[in-house]
Structure 1
């Protein structure tokens, strides 16, 4: 009998390993690049490469620990310790959690416990014998969703800006090393993986939302996101090549995105300070792509966002051609400009197709409107109040 959508399958377990491989590969290739730049005397490139790696690592550790701490209050077994400071099946005490996150391996502990518990459930079937199959699969999906949300933070704090930096370095010089190619490839695929993984995990972790269908819907959604993000990063790259002051454009966008998120009065975190950090992180994400921040109708917001997106993508290659034609050959401008234009058009077409034909409107509307479904744990509220795929 084929597995139901309610089960955490062997394929999902294997794909979790693939996601871990991409995560580790992305970080280590970036660290390798930082070492390479340092040896070559490029201090600024070394610093920026490390800043993106450490920034993404720091933010994910902060939120990972905060979520563990919140979940302790809910006495969630097999995920964290209980309110009496005794370790659960995961073996994590409060002190161990603090040490793990101080050393930057909190997200790896989540991978470890998800893979360990997933192996027990989907490969040994021990829980099915005791009649706890549905409960254990639900816990696995909650663990996977928390991990996917942290990966989404890491993606836009580390992988996306790292891809922008490496493209700027590569396009600004004549050669490109193998390590630079690997770094950009890992960053690109890490972005793609985190987007699809988060969308699918979020759909499944909320009981009143159907799982994201496979096949055409996933492909169209992935094309929409990757084409718009890649073309936007290339446009930012051209602005940086035009002048270092081109960094003002994404900085202004970050400020606008953060301010807009603040005006929406998000309530994702349990503390005021974390909420401010969360809104700043969402501002970074909105610099590269659009997400539904508050779970409301965002048709107008999307139109405004992608109108400005199209303006930047048209203006960047035109400004470089008009103001600095001596920087690169006509072939370079034509190639990069064509990629930006083609990616923008394809991405926007996929966006329209997805929301007109493939987006599950009724289920998503229910997700935004219905409260109090099931036990209102911190984990459930976290998923409900986080970014809606958009």
Structure 2
């Protein structure tokens, strides 16, 4: 494994999107409060706080586990940093500093290291991998609900201010980037996985996730216009099914039972919006069932909306939105088929590693028990 300049650039771009997304959400919530739209302001701020609180919990839990493995005591100031919502920024600081030294300062010396010493490249990759997992959590816990909320606010008013446009665009960028960054980090950190090389596989994977998510987000927005209670019940039901699926799969990502329970709750939430392989097994059948249900659910929402049009909804938007939903879903399924039919690495063809260079790394890698797709 080698940490490259491209990996360092992805980490830099990642923190830029993270900060921009956070600032845009805070400014938009302030704009809502200023305009007297307190419900939208509270919801916007709540999504930010909920997402970042859960991310800080996982960050601190992983930090304690890493310190325990290293035989070190958990420092109290790390807990204080995470309580002050500074855990992710601290991780970015250490990851960027470590990555910078590996790539630019000691690139020649880090190619060889004494037996018993830790590979600097592996340290940099592990730090970047932890950040990619945390960003994936934050994106789906905060970015997806935020995207639905802002689309709803835009369609309700028939117009959007600059802050809303910014949040919608940044949310799409954050979701796209964190998903691709996670996929790259996944295959970079696991020695028995083929790398996701080339621009075409990455773009195909990005468009598959983005189009299927956009189609579903717009469908949920239409359902919210129809009946908020029905929409919330549907989302709650889908979350419950995802949570039960994670329990049935007996995920083993966290060391403590409480954090594992929280992890399954988060996995259930992520499965509301997109599919991930939560156990690293062959999921051709579950994924097919997932997207069959997604297609049926989307078509059902559109059918009901066409059969019972709402007077409160701006009809000028309905036809283009319906066309966008169908087209985005169709494109998403096409990109999904292309990715798994052409670009997805064949597991049977993956490199087999012996005990010294593969299995020991696999046992110590947190990513191995995370979302695998």
| SS of equivalent to 2:15 | helix
- 1:126-159 C-alpha deviation (Å, 9 max, x unpaired): 6617833991111111111111001000001001
Which of 194, 209, 215 is the aligned partner of 1:210?
Answer: 194
Between the aligned partners of 1:229 and 1:214, the Cα distance in structure 2 is 23
Cα distance change of structure 1 residues 173 and 330 upon mapping to structure 2, 3 Å threshold: closer
Partner of 1:110: 91
Which of 23, 26, 33 is the aligned partner of 1:28?
Answer: 23
Work out whether 1:285 is the aligned partner of 2:280.
Answer: no
Between the aligned partners of 1:186 and 1:84, the Cα distance in structure 2 is 39
Cα distance change of structure 1 residues 192 and 129 upon mapping to structure 2, 3 Å threshold: closer
- Residues 362, 368 of structure 2: 8 Å contact kept: no
Work out whether 1:243 is the aligned partner of 2:224.
Answer: no
Between the aligned partners of 2:184 and 2:155, the Cα distance in structure 1 is 35
TM-score by length of 2: 0.93
Partner of 2:256: 271
Task: List runs of 5+ in structure 1 lacking aligned partners.
Answer: 1-5, 76-82, 86-92
Work out whether 1:314 is the aligned partner of 2:299.
Answer: yes
Partner of 2:60: 65
- Residues 213, 273 of structure 2: 8 Å contact kept: yes
- 1:178-206 C-alpha deviation (Å, 9 max, x unpaired): 00111111111000000000000010101
Partner of 2:137: 153
Partner of 1:7: 2
Number of equivalences: 367
Q: How does 1:340-351 map to 2 (within 5 A)?
A: 340-351=325-336
Partner of 1:200: 184
Deviation at 1:275, TM superposition (A): 0.6
Work out whether 1:355 is the aligned partner of 2:340.
Answer: yes
Work out whether 1:335 is the aligned partner of 2:330.
Answer: no
- Residues 295, 387 of structure 1: 8 Å contact kept: yes
Q: How does 1:120-131 map to 2 (within 5 A)?
A: 120-125=101-106, 128=109, 131=112
Partner of 2:152: 168
Between the aligned partners of 1:45 and 1:294, the Cα distance in structure 2 is 37
Partner of 1:40: 35
Partner of 2:204: 220
TM-score by length of 1: 0.89
Between the aligned partners of 1:202 and 1:102, the Cα distance in structure 2 is 28
Between the aligned partners of 2:149 and 2:134, the Cα distance in structure 1 is 22
- Residues 194, 350 of structure 2: 8 Å contact kept: no
Cα distance change of structure 1 residues 129 and 206 upon mapping to structure 2, 3 Å threshold: closer
- 1:212-243 C-alpha deviation (Å, 9 max, x unpaired): 11221111111111000111111001100112
Work out whether 1:96 is the aligned partner of 2:91.
Answer: no
Cα distance change of structure 1 residues 379 and 150 upon mapping to structure 2, 3 Å threshold: farther
| SS of equivalent to 1:22 | helix
- Residues 10, 181 of structure 2: 8 Å contact kept: no
Deviation at 1:362, TM superposition (A): 2.2
Between the aligned partners of 1:255 and 1:365, the Cα distance in structure 2 is 35
Q: CA RMSD in A?
A: 2.2
Partner of 2:372: 388
Between the aligned partners of 2:331 and 2:364, the Cα distance in structure 1 is 36
- Residues 193, 350 of structure 2: 8 Å contact kept: no
